[in-house]
Amino acid sequence: MVQIRASQVFTHSIEDAVAAKKALDADEPFNEVVQKYSTCPSKQQEGDLGWMPEEAALSLMGEKITKDEINKIIGPVHSEYGYHILLITEVKVENQDSQSVELTVITPEALDNRLSAGGSNLILLDLRESWEWDIAHIEGSQLITKENSESILSNLKKDGELILIDWKQDRSPSFVKWLVQQGFSYAKCLEGGIDAWSDKIDPSLARYEIESDDGYRYEDIIDEGSEQNDTHQHDH
């Protein structure tokens, strides 16, 4: 099953729809165009429409969306309600046979746009070592450790939007899979990790190299969680 997440500029005016598209073509940030032209209540969430099934997205957008089309802008599209300009922000593919979720990523550019627009629904979890965190980290992110993982995760909503940050997207995929097994629906990786963020978004953050990624403590968090689950099962 495929699910699409998108943001939109919506207006009843064809003139405003055309003006909004011209602004986007001139590289004006999508969230700013939303505030300027959209009349939909989703304007309060930077135009975010949330997740929709592939069938609903196809009906609205008039075309099938793939994972490679994140950040694609579609429209203006005319519906019975008015004119829509849509930005594809995320695509999630669920394997119904194995009940596993194909990992989704959010690009540094997309995350930066979300954070610049307020990012109220985002929860940034950093999986790296404390010394890496000290070198560079994204403002507002939380360093998750073996010691604080239970406390942090127990206070998060299962349907919260979790963004996992590592060095070069080297550790987050396995941690995302583990979070999904714990019932968190919307966990995803920052594409390229903190290194890509430093390169593309915030050059003021120092970049660094490490020789090996074996035995890092994020694996201890997973192991700790697995041991706790086993204990609970034995207790019952």
Same domain flag for 220 and 158: yes
Instruction: Report the pLDDT value the prediction gives residue 102, as an integer from 0 to 100.
Output: 60
Same domain flag for 200 and 116: yes
Contact between 8 and 24 (Cβ < 8 Å): no
Q: At 157, is the pLDDT very low, low, confident or very high (cuts 50, 70, 90)?
A: confident
Q: pLDDT of 158-190, one tens digit each? A: 777 899 999 988 778 778 878 877 778 788 899
Indicate if the pLDDT at residue 215 is higher than 90.
Answer: no
57, 75, 200, 160: CA torsion to nearest 10 = -30
CATH number at residue 163: 3.40.250.10
Same domain flag for 55 and 113: no
Domain count, the chain: 2
Nearest to 122 by CA among 181, 54, 46, 174: 46
Same domain flag for 119 and 47: no
Element (H, E) at 53: strand 48-53
Nearest to 3 by CA among 185, 165, 189: 185
Q: pLDDT of 59-77, one tens digit each? A: 778 777 877 788 899 999 9
Render the burial of 155-185: b for 16+ CB within 10 Å, e for the rest. Answer: eeeeeebbbbbbbebbbbeebbebbbeeebb
Instruction: Report the pLDDT value the prediction gives residue 122, as an integer from 0 to 100.
Output: 87
Q: Residue 87: give the domain boundaries.
A: 2-95
The CA distance from 28 to 218, in Å, is: 38
Q: At 27, is the pLDDT very low, low, confident or very high (cuts 50, 70, 90)?
A: very high
Same domain flag for 69 and 141: no
Same domain flag for 215 and 108: yes
